[in-house]
Amino acid sequence: MLEVSQLSVGYGEFQVLFDISFKVKKGSTAVIVGPNGAGKTTLLKTISGLLPIISGSIFLDGIPIQEKKPHQIVEMGIAQVPEGGRIFPYLSVEENLKMGSFPKRAREKFKDRLKWVYELFPVLSERKKQLAGSLSGGERQMLAIGRCLMSEPKLILLDEPSMGLAPLIVTHIFKLIQDINTQGYTILMVEQNVKKALQLADNAFLLESGRIKIKGSKEEFFANEYIKKAYIGL
């Protein structure tokens, strides 16, 4: 579904990503792991069209998207849940979800998708009239994921979905991500909780110093001595 080929990205004269290449298969969950500052968030922002590229290509279903604007990329089926589960704090929960139904195809199915999101996240239904800024950290993350799902995406980009959340909430969020994947959604996730992320993954990529250093299945990552010592703590 997603193919990134020889992608290089920077901020002004400072280059962050160097010749990044990988593929994400339809219906799979792929995980990008690596240290802070490696360029993981930069990579997701570039796929979403928020940053210009130096060189390389990005394809969705074989169609190049690197020259597309962010709203066009959302229309094509890529939606991102940003780091920290950013929401519109002064809008209600339901108004936030409405903001997610921007693409035309999503607007046409708004009522059905809203009902489905409320079934997936019952707590959002209970708080639908509440200001989003008053939600707990876990509830905000659920709202951010729900808003993403309202756009009827083909590919979901998740940036650090467990950041700042209590362990029990993290377990719940990861279970929801797994449930979303089993319903046919393709997921590309950046995550610092490597052990939990790999448990969900079909394949994974290690990004260090702006370069993909290791690619493989979750079994290969769990068996890799460097990954175990540096990122899993085994």
CATH code of the domain containing 108: 3.40.50.300
Average pLDDT over the chain, rounded to an integer: 92
In angstroms, rounded to a whole number, what is the distance separating the alpha carbons of residues 63 and 76?
10
* pLDDT above 70 for 234: no
Give me the pLDDT at residue 169, please: 87
Give me the pLDDT at residue 167, please: 87
Q: Which domain holds residue 89?
A: 2-232
- Torsion angle of the four alpha carbons 209, 78, 204, 83, in this order, in degrees rounded to the nearest 10: 60
Gyration radius of the chain over CA positions: 17
In angstroms, rounded to a whole number, what is the distance separating the alpha carbons of residues 130 and 173?
21
* pLDDT above 90 for 148: yes
**Percent residues over pLDDT 70 in the chain:** 100
How does pLDDT run across 26-76, given as a tens digit for each residue?
999 999 999 988 999 999 999 999 999 999 999 999 999 999 999 999 999
* pLDDT above 70 for 168: yes
Domain count, the chain: 1
Stretch 189-201: mean pLDDT: 92
Query: Starting at the edge strand that comes first in sequence, how are the strands of the sheet with 2-11 ordered?
Result: 14-24, 2-11, 55-60, 63-64
* 4 three-state secondary structure: strand
Give me the pLDDT at residue 85, please: 73
Q: Which residue has the higher pLDDT, 45 or 107?
A: 45
